[in-house]
Structures are given as C-alpha cells and as structure tokens.
C-alpha cells in the first residue's frame, strides 16, 4: 500500500510538471489569441450592421507583420495567391501595429482611390512616416500636398524631359560600356541601382556629374540601409530597424543640405533648366530646410528605387524572350531617320518598346501596393471597413486577378498594342497607382526606361546565368540572385541593322 501511494504521488507530480511546462503555456497562448481576436473585433463600428471582412489577425500585438515579411521575402506571389484563395478579394489582417484590410480587384480599388479625403486618406506605416518625414509628398495632405505636387510636376514637363534625355543617355552609355568591358558575370540589380541613383541625383537633385560619381560611392550604401529599414516595427531603440533607418536618413539629409545651400546662393540666377529640388526651393520653402530635405530624400527614393526594379525586370524578361528583343530591334530599325527621333530621342514613337515596358509593369509592378487610413466607416462589397483601420490596396494582386486578360502568366507585350487592359477596367492596371495620388514621375520613368532599352538592345546580347529568378519584395520587387547575366557583347551593326545603323539614327539624333 505504501508503494502504491508513493507511485501515485510520483505520477501526480509528473502530471503537474507536464501540465505546468507544456499544457498551461499552450492554454495561455490560446487564451491570449482569443482575447486578441476579441479586442481587435471590438474595433468594429456598432452603428454598421455589416460584418468585418474574413481573415486572421495573427499574433498578439505583432499581428501578421513578421509572417508577412518572411513569406513575401521568400514566396511573394505564392503567399498572396494563398491569401486571396482563402479569403477572397477583401480580407482583414493586423500589420505594423494596426488592424488592416487588404483590398484587390479593379472595382474595389477604384472605390478606394476615388475616395481620397472623403472616406480614406493616404497614410503609410509609422516607420515610413518617421523616416521619410511628415513633409514628404507621400505623407502630405490637403493644401500642402497640392502645393508640393504642383511644384514637382513642373520638373516632369515635356520641356524638362527633353533636357533630361541627353543626361540619361550619357549615364546609361557609361554603364553599358562598363558591362561590355567586364570579363565576368554582371550582377544587374546592384548595377541598376547605382545607375538609376546617379541619374536621379543629377536630374532630380541637380548634382554635378563629377559630384554625383563621388557622392554615389558614399550614399548608395547609406541609402540601401534606409530603404531596407523603411518598413519596420515603430520601435526607436538602438540597433532596431527604425533606429538604423533614421540614422541612415540623417546622413543623406546632411549631404543633400550641402546641395541646398549651393542652390540657395544661386537662386536668382537665370537658368532655364531647373531640377525638382530647385523648383521646391523656389516654391516658398527657403526657410524650411527640413521640408526641402525630406522632399529631396523622397524624390531620390522614388526616382531611382522603382526604376531600378523595373529596369532589372526588363533585362530579365528580355533575357528570357529573344523573340521580344528581335521585335524591338525591328521597330528601332523602322524608325531610323524619322524626324520624331531627332526631337524626342526615340522615346514617344516606339510603340512596341512601350508595350514591353507596360507588360513588365503588369507582371512585376515595382511597388506592390499603397496605404490608406479610413476616415469614416463605410461598406465595401458587403463588409464594413471601420473608421481608424488601415487599408492596403494591392497593385500586384489587382493585376493578377484582372479577368479581361488571357494567358496572364505569359509575357506578351503584344496584348497592349491594340487594347490596353485598362480600356475595359481603368483601375485594373495601376502600376503607378491612381486617383489624386498617381505617381507624379510616371512619364519621367517611361522616358528613362525607353532610353535605357534603346541603348541596351542595340548594343548588347546577354544570357541569364540562373534562368528565371525568384522575386522578392523589400520594399520594391527584385530578384533573389541579383540577376546574374553574362555573354554581353557589342552587337555588330552588320548583323542586326545593316550598314550605317550606328552612324545614323540614335547617335546622330542626339
């Protein structure tokens, strides 16, 4: 009897130990999850009878932020496809410390983009607002947004872009020459970032050519650090993502400040060419240097990060589709000697080349989506979107679910030749966003990418070393392997164009 009693006590102690170490923590986690769900759901508007969208809110406080970063970093398209198959085109989640509704599909996105300042307002995550600054165009609202946008748009006028083309071509040719002279494989994504960074520094911020080359070495890595930590948890403690992003931002501001002082000393000089930074300075912001620095940093980010992403995707798709390269070269050959080329440098009159860019932006939009905050509760497709919640409208998902296209998985620039996807659904193709906050530099991006393509396809042949790469997002879209390619060679004019190609057309029209 004593033995049985001791054995029973031993089993009892073992049970209590297992319960306390395994079962109890599990129960506490489940209870915390249930309380978290109840807390978040309690944020629904009781005056609206419609239910919240389906979805999950993830872990307490962290939500699905960590899961989102991990899966999109490694399995971007797969993760997003799984989510929409499970929950549909509207679903709830919890990201960056806020309850969030993710939205896709042309009709749903249209309602969001056309309701600016009525139902929603632009509001990026706290980390983005802190790093870019409250006076950046993306974070400005009302009269301030209109004033800044009006000033910046002047830098992207037709007259301004005519002056940009020689600068763009000069920088692109210099990079292409370096690639052709390389004895090893070229990592295209880092090369694109450096190229587009130099172009943005010269055209948007007015850096001198030699100054841009010198400062590039110092600023590219710092800028990369800022961008890498742009989307992070809003916790400003040493070694956190936000802390590193702010530190990098301050270094960039100090460098831009030097250029601002130089421009302020020459502000009254009569100069027909005015970059975006100078136009901002002249727009009554002389005493607000912080505003100017924040706007300049945002211009540098928007002016090079997205174009570097798209240019890399262009090289990737062309490396995978030799027939598209042949069609582009045929179009360029047909345009030789056209008066339009001498005026616009082969940009506005290359229809098929433009379609290649459009198709690239359809499949790989550099920016996956945009952020909004709900100003007042409203209904969307039978679901309530509560006041104070955040909204992410998804560009990449909206392109993926556009039902007016056939063979959506295939790279087919021809689909844009006769009829664009947005002919039947204006908000089904939105690589530059839409509504009041459409990207102000979209025409600049198109011209830059066309000039880039003309130089590359008329001078180079290349092969992708690793085949089709896996794409990541952070924060723009880019290839896992940095897009390694080799086999660059200068094309023989006799092979592709016939005698005299390089002596006429593009070079002669400069």
Q: Which residues are annotated as a binding site for heme?
A: 439
d(CA 349, CA 95): 44
d(CA 238, CA 241): 9
- DSSP H helices, 274-369, are 276-282, 289-320, 322-334, 339-344, 351-363
Nearest to 356 by CA among 483, 496, 453, 479: 453
Tokens, residue 70: 């991990």
Cβ of 233: how many Cβ atoms within 10 Å? 17
Using a 10 angstrom Cβ sphere, with 0-12 exposed, 13-18 middle and 19 or more buried, the burial of residue 389 is buried
Nearest to 200 by CA among 315, 344, 298, 345: 298
Element (H, E) at 187: strand 186-187
Tokens, residue 101: 């509704």
Nearest to 164 by CA among 448, 497, 398: 448
Query: Which residues are bridge partners to 55 per DSSP?
Result: 92
d(CA 431, CA 433): 6
Chain centroid to CA 461: how far? 28
Using a 10 angstrom Cβ sphere, with 0-12 exposed, 13-18 middle and 19 or more buried, the burial of residue 118 is exposed
Tokens, residue 56: 């999950």
Query: Which residues are bridge partners to 91 per DSSP?
Result: 102
**Residue 311 in contact with residue 319, Cβ under 8 Å?**
no
Provide CB contacts within 8 A for 28, sequence distance 6+: none
Strands 378-380 and 383-385, sheet pairing? antiparallel
d(CA 345, CA 356): 18
d(CA 150, CA 282): 12
């Amino acid at each position: 009897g004593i033995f049985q009693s001791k054995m029973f006590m031993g089993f009892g102690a073992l049970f209590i130990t297992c319960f306390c170490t395994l079962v109890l923590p599990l129960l506490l986690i489940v209870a915390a999850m249930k309380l978290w769900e109840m807390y978040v759901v309690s944020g629904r508007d009781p005056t609206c009878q419609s239910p919240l969208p389906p979805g999950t809110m993830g872990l307490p406080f962290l939500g699905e932020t960590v899961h989102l970063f991990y899966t999109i970093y490694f399995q971007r398209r797969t993760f997003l496809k799984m989510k929409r198959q499970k929950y549909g085109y509207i679903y709830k989640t919890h990201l960056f410390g806020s309850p969030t509704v993710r939205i896709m599909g042309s009709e749903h996105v249209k309602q969001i983009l056309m309701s600016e300042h009525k139902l929603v307002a632009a509001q990026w995550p706290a980390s983005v607002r802190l790093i870019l600054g409250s006076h950046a165009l993306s974070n400005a609202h009302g009269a301030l947004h209109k004033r800044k946008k009006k000033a910046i748009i002047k830098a992207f006028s037709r007259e301004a872009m005519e002056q940009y083309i020689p600068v763009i071509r000069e920088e692109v040719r210099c990079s292409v020459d370096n690639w052709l002279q390389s004895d090893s494989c070229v990592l295209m994504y880092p090369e694109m970032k450096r190229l587009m960074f130099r172009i943005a520094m010269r055209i948007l911020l007015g850096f001198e050519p030699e100054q841009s080359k010198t400062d590039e070495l110092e600023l590219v890595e710092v800028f990369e650090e800022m961008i890498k930590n742009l989307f992070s948890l809003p916790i400003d403690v040493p070694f956190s993502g936000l802390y590193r992003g702010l530190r990098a931002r301050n270094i960039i501001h100090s460098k831009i400040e030097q250029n601002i002082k130089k421009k302020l000393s020459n502000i009254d000089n009569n100069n027909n060419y005015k970059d975006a930074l100078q136009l901002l300075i002249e727009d009554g912001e002389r005493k607000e240097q912080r505003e100017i620095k924040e706007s300049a940093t945002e211009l540098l980010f928007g002016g090079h990060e997205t174009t570097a992403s798209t240019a890399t995707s262009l090289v990737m798709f062309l490396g995978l589709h030799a027939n598209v390269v042949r069609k582009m070269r045929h179009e360029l050959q047909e345009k030789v000697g056209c008066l339009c080329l001498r005026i616009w440098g082969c940009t506005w009159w290359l229809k098929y080349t433009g379609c290649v860019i459009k198709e690239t932006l359809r499949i790989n939009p550099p920016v996956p989506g945009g952020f909004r905050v709900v100003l007042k509760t409203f209904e969307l497709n039978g679901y309530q979107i509560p006041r104070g919640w955040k909204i992410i409208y998804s560009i990449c998902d909206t392109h993926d679910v556009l039902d007016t296209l056939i063979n959506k998985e295939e790279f087919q620039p021809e689909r844009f030749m006769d009829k664009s996807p947005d002919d039947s659904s204006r908000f089904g193709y939105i690589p530059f966003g839409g509504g009041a906050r459409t990207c102000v530099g979209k025409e600049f991006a198109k011209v830059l990418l066309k000039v880039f393509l003309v130089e590359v396809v008329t001078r180079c042949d290349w092969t992708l070393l690793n085949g089709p790469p896996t794409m990541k997002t952070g924060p723009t879209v880019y290839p896992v392997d940095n897009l390694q390619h080799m086999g660059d060679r200068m094309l023989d004019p006799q092979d592709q164009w016939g005698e005299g190609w390089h002596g006429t057309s593009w070079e002669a029209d400069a």
